[in-house]
Chain A
Amino acid sequence: MRPEPLSPAPTEAEDAALNRTQEAVLSAYAELIEELGTDDVSFRLIARRAGIGERTIFRNYATRVDLLLATAAWIESSIFARPESPSVFDMPLAIRDAMEAYDRRPELAHVVAETAMRGVSGAAPSPTRDSLAAMLAREVPSLSEAERESIVAALSHLDSAATWVTLRREMHMGGRDIADAAAWAAEAVLDPIRGRVAS
């Protein structure tokens, strides 16, 4: 287990409770990332855009990394928010929608993808793990533990900004082709369980 950091990145529950100042900081930073990229944005610039003092940012986010991780979490939960999927068999559709959303905001998609690749000191890489496992347990209760884990792992990997980034960067695909390929792969993952739902 990692030690408790001094200023932890907000968890999903805390995320909802961001105060107005924090929200202003995070949305200002997200805006500036889209305009300038992650490297060229100073705390001073963020403070000016958010209409607050630079010191207020430091009080809330002690380091640049803390601020970046909090911003990535905010981007995922607000800009790339997903509607609740009632069934695991809706995941290909949800993934298609998510890929189209990432395609509309490429800089932000890269931030979300990269911060999830930093190991335990980064953003949580599989935020949908528990809800996917719960849906599968409810809809296809006959699955073995290992089968369920494998399906959850594959779907949570596909339902992420890294999918959009990789297929664009490595395969040189456009937005529609990415959405198509990701949804198709999710269908492949679901193939063996289509006929096994609980009656």
Chain B
Amino acid sequence: MAEAADTPTAIIARAAEELREQTFDDISYRALADGVGVSERTVYRQFPTRAHLLEGLAAWIEATEFALPAFVTIPEFRAAARARFGAFDAMPAYAFVCARAESISPTGDSERPFLARTIEAMIETAYPQVNARDRRRVAATLLYFASPQFWARMRTGFDMSAPAIADVFDRTAGLAIDRLPTMSRMPQ
């Protein structure tokens, strides 16, 4: 296998490879250890529980396969989210792992993810006069409807593919943004 930077990364890369053939639940620590050429105990030391492994794997997948294209404006964000739904459709096994990882009880303290902060900054720039609560409501809606969980629910529960999923995201995002007061409707 390719030279990996460090043991945890090598284990994660191996797990990602195995995901092409089987589900996350079928990946064994034994097989990961054998694949990387370390002891099973080393795998456990890096990833004490399957939740740790799931989180590490999802972080790696998000960074290597599903990085959201850079965006500054709201239309750019909407286009980026649409493109990412297409990427999820192209690699559903990876996307389901991300959706699962974002749903489990966090294994450690984490700072607010980059995407959440970026969306909040985007809304603040676009609507500087709008009160903080309404801005936060919109940011939460945009983040949640652009998420892998939304893709997973639409795919499994509604048999939708990426273009239809992106349409529901876009419509909902538009309705949330339309609830914000605009400059022209404010008193002079």
Task: Enumerate chain A interface residues (CB-CB to B < 8 A).
Answer: 37-39, 65, 106-107, 110, 113-114, 116-122, 124-126, 129, 149-150, 153-154, 156-158, 160-163, 165-167, 169-173, 177, 180-182, 184-185, 187-189, 191-192
Contacts and interface: CB of A to CB of B under 8 A. Distances in A.
Given A114-B100, A119-B152, A153-B154, A181 B105 contact: no
B87 interface: no
Contacts of B136: 171, 173, 177, 181
Contacts of B4: none
Given A166-B103, A182-B140, 10 more contacts: A106-B105, A110-B105, A114-B100, A118-B96, A150-B167, A150-B171, A154-B172, A169-B106, A177-B136, A188-B141
A176 B112 CA distance: 18
A129 B153 CA distance: 11
18 contacts: A39-B49, A107-B105, A114-B103, A117-B96, A118-B100, A119-B156, A120-B156, A125-B156, A149-B158, A156-B157, A157-B144, A158-B144, A163-B144, A166-B147, A172-B112, A180-B133, A182-B140, A191-B175
Contacts of B153: 116-117, 125-126, 156-157, 160, 162
Contacts of B105: 37, 106-107, 110
Interface of B: 23, 25, 49-51, 92, 96, 99-100, 102-106, 110, 112-113, 115-116, 133, 136-137, 139-141, 143-145, 147, 149-150, 152-158, 160, 167-168, 171-172, 175-176, 178-179
Nearest to B98: A117
A167 B144 contact: yes
A191 B104 CA distance: 32
A185 B172 contact: yes
A121 B100 CA distance: 13
